[in-house]
Amino acid sequence: MHSLSVTELAAGLRARKFSSLDLTLHFLGRIERLGPQLNAFVTVTADRALADARAADEVLARGEGGPLTGVPIAHKDIFCTDGVLTTCSSRMLSNFVAPYDATVVERWKAAGTVMLGKTNMDEFAMGSSNETSYFGPVRNPWDPSRVPGGSSGGSAAAVAACLAAAATGTDTGGSIRQPAALTNLTGLKPTYGRVSRYGMIAFASSLDQAGVLTRSAEDAALLLGAMAGFDPRDSTSVDRPVPDYVAELAQPLAGVRIGIIREFFGAGLDPAVGKLVRDAIGALERAGARVREVSLPALPLSVPTYYVVAPAECSSNLSRFDGVRFGHRCENPRDLLDLYKRSRGEGFGDEVKRRIMTGTYVLSAGYYDAYYLKAQKVRQLIAADFARAFGEVDVVLGPTAPTAAFELGAKTSDPITMYLNDIYTIGANLAGLPAISIPCGFVTESGRDLPVGLQLVGPHFAEARLLGISHQYQRLTDWHRRLPAEYA
Amino acid sequence: MSLTRAQVEGIAHLARLEIVEARMPVYVDSLSRIIEFVEQLSAADTAGVEPMAHPLADQVQRLRPDAVTEEDRHEKYQQNAPAVAAGLYLVPKVIE
């Protein structure tokens, strides 16, 4: 049951082949047996899951409910869940019980999903390997000596290992797409404003966006439809109708114009990864897509731009953690300043402190123009590059990450080396564009098969197009169906 | 540009972060590397380019009627507070 897609699970539930309770007990059993070795979950909400499942079964017994009624899922621990520990994988929030549900959580709940638990992540979503978590690193189900990517590493590992049918993630610079690529999943980051950020703990508010990690584009379409849409509680939410993403999957590949991003195939890309992406381009072309090269000359500046903009917003957002109203407070503060400094110094890990300090520096008097304002201007150039490309093609394509999954500890000593993992994903965040990573093959390293992903980026609100191309590609290939042997 | 230890201590103070003495050299080194890395932006030609503060250019800040819409839930919210008395958050004495 655990390897079935969400779409297949929905059909099985409706045909009463199995109940949601059977399904939920099965997944909870797998989480108990296989979860600890991956460290994919921070909190398992077994009682809540069983209650959700029983409620779903009653709905299904009445012949009611939707396609997600009774489907067991997991939420990244960045989403507030009413009455459930919500840690953001930080010591700062290790005692925080959210007093309300995030809109994403509320909508998936209303759609009838069963919440199995909260997944591990890089602390406050700052990382590309899931190694900055206060609760320890997550391991990649394809090779336990390697990282699952980050920051949505727990969600990726959980879905890849079939410990949940699907999971939520968030993507500020690649945190859905890069882990999806490293664990053989489909990972969708929607357009900025498409999905509500209400109740999603903020990192960089002009970049953060919620999305999904699934085992197919079809599942992603189903689950995106259940989370997208206007929310008055998020001031940047866009009031625009949500298309029927599942219906749009049938769009044919023939005639779709795909631009290959020249700048994404240069130095820094593992040639074995590049070859698999080129093979996939060949397959799309044979299926009728019209492929041409496009140049986005400002894109190589996306990483330095991001590492000014994101830390600046982070330093401002994370000033709310002051040891006064919620979160970690130090022992015996001498005075208010000591309370702030020690509560924050103890509550945040090294990478979070580093980003807060980078942001504080680039926003400080005398440096603001040289760093922050300059980065905002380069951000405009990057967005303009994409806009120009979308005048010629429907979507652009490239690799999701420069390499397959790397070993734990391989990139923790130098922050820049770690930051460069997101070199191909950050541009979409800076420009607010929707982007998806889908499996496109495997490389072999040290005798292990490691998954590789390709990325499609589209114009604002082109999620249906991205999902359609991905679905058509997944009808031609079976990379996305492969599961890590130990977890199949 | 390399940051000095004194600069990093100044930034940490502005950010209200205590950095443990033994970790200070690590921060001086890694923050210097990050600032050096982002300095490559200075070479980009941005003459006449408007700074971009929001990813959707046509999006305007939405306003809502100036009406009370939230209910008082301070008791629930304060269950997460480290120290509370009579509905108030407690902190060390600020004024002697």
Tens digit of pLDDT for each residue in A238-259?
999 999 999 999 999 999 999 9
pTM of the model: 0.97
Which B residues in the span 17-46 are in contact with A, Cβ-Cβ below 8 Å? 17-20, 23, 26-27, 30-31, 33-35, 37-42, 44, 46
What pLDDT does residue A309 have? Answer: 98
What pLDDT does residue B60 have? Answer: 79
Residues of chain A with C-beta less than 8 angstroms from the C-beta of B14: 360, 364
Is B56's Cβ below 8 Å from some Cβ in A? yes
> Which residues, other chains included, contact A413 with Cβ-Cβ below 8 Å and sequence gap of 6+?
none
> Are B8 and A333 within 8 A, CB to CB?
no
Residues of chain B with C-beta less than 8 angstroms from the C-beta of A303: 37
**Chain B closest CA to A168's CA: distance in Å?**
22
| Disruptive mutation site among A321, A357, A413 for chain B (greatest number of B CBs within 10 Å) | A357
Helices (H), A17-163: 20-38, 46-61, 103-110, 153-160
pLDDT at residue B1 above 80? Answer: no
For residue B56, what pLDDT band results from cuts at 50, 70 and 90? confident
Is B58's Cβ below 8 Å from some Cβ in A? no
pLDDT at residue A377 above 80? Answer: yes
**Chain A closest CA to B55's CA: distance in Å?**
5
For residue B62, what pLDDT band results from cuts at 50, 70 and 90? confident
Length of chain B: 96
- Joined tokens for residue A303: 């990483």
pLDDT at residue B51 above 90? Answer: yes
For residue B95, what pLDDT band results from cuts at 50, 70 and 90? confident
- Joined tokens for residue A200: 């999603």
What pLDDT does residue A150 have? Answer: 96
For residue B58, what pLDDT band results from cuts at 50, 70 and 90? confident
Average pLDDT over residues A114-125: 98
Q: How large a percentage of chain A has pLDDT more than 70?
A: 100
Alpha-carbon dihedral sign for residues A314, A316, A319, A325:
negative
d(CA A61, CA A358): 55
A63-93 pLDDT tens trace: 999 999 999 999 999 999 999 999 999 999 9
pLDDT at residue A444 above 80? Answer: yes
Min mean pLDDT across A227-231, A261-265, A389-393, B66-70 is at B66-70
DSSP A315-336: HHHGGG--SSSSS---SS-SSH
For residue A473, what pLDDT band results from cuts at 50, 70 and 90? very high
DSSP A82-100: TTBB--TT-STTTT-B-SS
- Which comes out higher in pLDDT, residue B54 or A142? A142
Q: Considering only alpha carbons, which residue of chain A is nearest residue B10?
A: A361
The complex scores an ipTM of: 0.96
Q: Are A420 and A129 in contact (CB under 8 A)?
A: no
What pLDDT does residue A293 have? Answer: 98
